[in-house]
Every structure is written in C-alpha cells, then in structure tokens.
Amino acid sequence: MSMPFYVSPEQLMKDRADYARKGIARGRSVVVLQYDDGIAFATENPSRALHKISEIYDRIAFAAVGKYNEFENLRVAGVRYADLRGYSYDRVDVTARGLANAYAQTLGTVFTTESKPLEVELVVVEVGREPAGDQIYRLSYDGSVTDEHGWVVMGGQAERLATVLGGGWRPGMTLAQVLGLAVRVLGGTGEDGAPRALGAAQLEVAVLDRTRPRRAFRRLTGALLEDVLGGAGAPTGGGDEPVAP
C-alpha cells in the first residue's frame, strides 16, 4: 500500500501565502488618503463598469486589489451585511470595524480550510464627522486586520509606493493635493520604473465626503475629475494606452 503524501502545516501555509501574494501583486495599486474634508480613493482603472472602489453603506466604502470575481463577491456580501444590520438595529450600528471583523473571519476561514486562498487585499473605510473619527482597516488574504492612519497603498508595488506616499502625505491636505499626490504615486509604476502621465480617463477616483449629510460616497469622473486634477497640477489627458483593470 502506498503511503500518503505528507506536507507539513508550516509548508502548506507558506505555499498558500506565496500563492495569494503573487496573485495580488499582479493587480494595479489602489491608494487611500485622508484629506481635510474626507477620504479619497484612487487607482489606475480605465473600465467604467468593473469597479475596484465601491460604496458599502452611508459613510462606509470598500476598495480592493486582486481577482475581480473574488473581491466582488466580498463586496456584495458586505452590502448585505450592512443592510441587514442597519434594518435589524439602527443605521448607526453599521460600522467599518464590524464589517472588517466579518471580512476577517471569511478570509481567515478560506485561507486555513480551503485548498486555494482568496487572492485579494481589501480596505474598509468609514469617514467620521471629524478627521479624528475616520477609520481605515486593511485586510490581507489570510484574514489579518491592520488599523491604518492617514493613508494606505496596496497591490502591485505596494512597498515601494508606500515610501513615496508616506513622504508626500501630511495631515490637512486638500482634495486636489491628495489626488495630485496619488496620481504621481500611481504614475511611477511603469515596467521600466519611469514615471507615466495618467489622465482622468485612466483613473477610478472616489471620495467619502464628510460634509455630506448622510451618503458620503461619490465618484469623481469626467469634467469634475479633470477640474480637480487640473487644480492639483496633474495631467488630465494623454498618457499610456488604457489597460485592463
């Protein structure tokens, strides 16, 4: 009788982690930055149908990198979780922390029990009435959660971009300033390392605006995005040919 093939638990977890990290690294980066009136999201994504940044609830948003079908399923589950909790209790009981905990349980369970981990990395964000009340949670493929402050970058060349982003961000920046910084950071991800000019048509941009009365999420597209980028001194057109998200 043949002996069953044995793989140590440590090696199995390492292989799963390496597999997930490689899948996530193939995705284009997403940056999240606090500004004076809210929180901004930006990523290179010319598609107007396949979004990587989405609204979850009144003052909560979601951004992801990795396999689209996997993080889209998580987004839909998050919307259902938020709607059910808000209906069963109260709208103020729907929080980014609660949603992040639910996502962490799902990601951790899949990572430890399924043959293939989810190739996704998530950010769950809630904008407060004041900057001190903003919440930013970053979730990894294995279910680990990190409470971030000020800014987050994930996917692609996240470690290198984080150095640039951390050196350029400061508290109290305006929306135009943080989007200008985001475009400069995202434009430095060319294969040859040379900066690229990213126009409004190549970007997916959204904000959680703390000044709005209830639904804080809104997308910046078209002429509005071009005006904001123009105010930041960033290019509003041209650049490389569009690529798939």
Alpha carbon distance 100, 109 (integer Å): 14
The dihedrals phi and psi of 155, each to the nearest 5 degrees, come to 80, 170
Task: Find the helix or strand (DSSP H, E) in which 222 lies.
Answer: helix 222-231
The mean of the pLDDT values for the chain is 89
Alpha carbon distance 56, 175 (integer Å): 21
Whether residue 223 is contained in a domain is answered as: yes
Name the domain count of the chain: 1
pLDDT at residue 83 in the model = 96
Q: Maximum distance among all alpha carbons in the chain?
A: 73
For the residues of 5-31, what is the DSSP string, one character each?
P---HHHHHHHHHHHHHHHHHTSPPEE
Whether residue 245 is contained in a domain is answered as: no
Q: Which two tokens stand for residue 61?
A: 């948003």
- Residue 32: strand pairing partners: 41, 152
Alpha carbon distance 101, 121 (integer Å): 14
Q: Cα dihedral sign for 59, 30, 49, 229?
A: positive
Whether residue 162 is contained in a domain is answered as: yes
Whether residue 120 is contained in a domain is answered as: yes
Whether residue 236 is contained in a domain is answered as: no
Whether residue 2 is contained in a domain is answered as: no
pLDDT at residue 210 in the model = 95
Which range marks the domain in which residue 72 is found? 9-229
Alpha carbon distance 209, 207 (integer Å): 6
pLDDT at residue 159 in the model = 85
Q: What is the DSSP letter of 58?
A: T
Would strands 53-57 and 217-220 be described as parallel, antiparallel, or unpaired?
A: unpaired
pLDDT at residue 229 in the model = 84
The dihedrals phi and psi of 228, each to the nearest 5 degrees, come to -65, -45
Alpha carbon distance 145, 205 (integer Å): 24
Residue numbers of the chain with a pLDDT score lower than 50:
238-245
Whether residue 65 is contained in a domain is answered as: yes
* CATH number, domain containing residue 113: 3.60.20.10
Whether residue 238 is contained in a domain is answered as: no
pLDDT at residue 236 in the model = 52
